[in-house]
Homo-oligomer: A and B are copies of this chain.
Amino acid sequence: MNWNLARRAEKMNPSVIREILKVTERPGIISFAGGLPSPKTFPVAEFAEACARVLKDDGPGALQYAASEGYGPLREMVAAQLPWSVDPQQVLITTGSQQGLDLVAKVLIDEGSRVLVETPTYLGALQAFMPMEPKVVGVDSDDEGIVVDDLPRKAGSGADKARFLYLLPNFQNPTGRTMTEARRAALSARAAELGVPIAEDNPYGDLWFDAPPAAPLTARNPDGCVYLGSFSKVLAPGLRLGFIVAPKALHPKLLQAKQAADLHSPGFNQRMVAEVMKDGFLDRHVPTIRALYKSQRDAMLAALSREMKGLDVQWNTPAGGMFLWARLPEGMDAVQLLPHAVERNVAFVPGAAFYAQDGDARTLRLSFVTASVDEINTGVAALAAAIREQLARQTPQRLAA
């Protein structure tokens, strides 16, 4: 049988990096690669209680088909916790915020549509947008995110006008960087002026270390932004729950795309999460995640300072979230380094994968939240050794060339 695949499917190819990273599931590998929250932060006991209560109070209701919009009380809790005025009717519960990206793509992207992203950006968003076949264009970005003055050059016009600008303002994946208040204000104004809507993805915003980040871009222009949130980082990813807050122009379309995609997100899980959250649990729980992740970030920063001494390796100091961004010495390539690091039982994600165009081959993403402090120390030392070894190998090659 000759299956005739869709054009988009021809472009879906297994990533070389993913293949290498499969070995990171091997016991003994210290992984800075995954975007996995620390399992220590999962409120297992609270979930166990919530499951029992949900099934006891209304088991048949929790297990039946449910509304595509999501579970009413959960939508209300989401609306209430956001720092701008949100009508619960604007909230759409999604199967993880990854699904939010799929729905936004379906509702806003035609084949060839211009879509703007940060440089670099979240790889999963590029994957979610891809089936709709957009033309993804990277906007210049610095340590504070999008460079506002590059936006007019990239916004396009007429039929080629950007459908939206996708960004993660807080503790970005992959770089860990955060937009300042001034940058947000300037970007919000410029995007509105250019008529470019913003898709604001904020899975990490609650995970700040010393001070909360500035207000979301959506709070500044709710009709010009669609906002994506997640329960994966503050409760647990294995329930696959996130949400979209959308303006009236988009909500009904997103809802219909949602219905076609999976009818609704699991009602049982939505009730569990609402049950866990109902008495202000997050206000007690999230500070413990912040404290843990901050101490892990500090451990990684200390290990990097110690182990990378004498190497021209650069890294940043994220103010929250899960990731740190590093850059190898000139001439090195993180994709080439990866198998050697894995030989030394440490893994990371090469940064080039996160760029819409012209990836910086020297960059890499390091997660500081999944490994323990001991593992961070061992892993960073192993990474430094792999870098030293690669540099030593490269030098004679260069001399020979």
- Name, among A3, A51, A95, the residue most crowded by chain B CB atoms within 10 Å (CB to CB): A3
Contact of A52 among B48, B62, B95, B128 (CB under 8 A): B48
**A268 near B239 (CB under 8 angstroms)?**
yes
Note all chain B residues with C-beta closer than 8 A to A14: 252, 256
Which residues of A233-275 have CB atoms within 8 Å of chain B's CB atoms? 236-240, 247, 249-250, 252-253, 256-257, 259-269
Number of copies: 2
- B48 & A56 in contact (Cβ 8 Å cutoff): yes
On whether A257 and B9 interact (CB within 8 A), knowing A4-B108, A106-B131, A240-B266, the answer reads yes
Cβ–Cβ contact B47 & A55, under 8 A: yes
> With the chains together, A238 CA to B51 CA distance in Å?
13
Whether B3 pairs with A197 at a CB distance below 8 angstroms is yes
Q: Which among A36-44, A84-92, A280-288, A293-301 touches the partner chain? A: A36-44
Contact A55 B48 (CB under 8 A): yes
Determine whether A8 belongs to the interface, using a CB cutoff of 8 Å to chain B.
yes
Check A47–B65 contact: CB distance below 8 A: no
**Residue from B5, B7, B59 within 8 A of A48 (CB atoms):** B59
Residues of B within 8 A of A261 (CB): 98-99, 102, 128, 261
Report the bound CA distance from A111 to B17 in whole Å. 31
Tell whether A132 is near chain B: CB-to-CB under 8 Å: yes
Residue of B nearest to A198 (CB): B1
Tell whether, in the assembled complex, residue A253 and residue B12 are in contact, meaning their CB atoms are under 8 Å apart: yes
Please judge, given known A-B contacts A6-B110, A52-B48, A96-B262, whether A65 and B238 are in contact too, CB under 8 Å. Answer: yes
Judging by beta carbons under 8 Å apart, are A102 and B262 in contact?
Answer: yes
Judged by a CB distance under 8 angstroms, whether A322 is at the interface is no
**What residues of chain B lie closer than 8 Å to A265, measured between beta carbons?**
95, 240
Q: Which residues of B have CB within 8 Å of A268?
A: 236, 238-239, 269
Q: How far is the CB of A356 from chain B (nearest CB, A)?
A: 15
Contact yes or no, A64 B106, CB < 8 A: no
- How many Å lie between the Cα of A5 and that of B249 in the bound state? 9
A266 to chain B: which residues have CB within 8 Å?
95, 238-240, 266, 269
- A237-B5 in contact given A44-B55, A59-B42, A102-B261 (Cβ < 8 Å): no
Closest residue on chain B to residue A55 by CB atoms: B48
B240 touches A95 (CB 8 A): yes
A109 within 8 A of B: yes
Given A14-B256, A48-B51, A263 and B238 contact (CB-CB distance below 8 Å): no
- A2 interface residue per 8 A CB criterion: yes
Given contacts A6-B163, A98-B260, A98-B263, 19 further A-B contacts (CB under 8 A): A1-B224, A5-B107, A5-B250, A12-B253, A12-B256, A39-B60, A39-B64, A42-B60, A48-B52, A51-B52, A63-B238, A96-B263, A99-B261, A102-B260, A128-B261, A236-B268, A240-B263, A266-B269, A269-B269
6 A-B pairs in the complex with CB atoms less than 8 angstroms apart = A4-B161, A6-B106, A42-B60, A65-B238, A99-B262, A269-B269
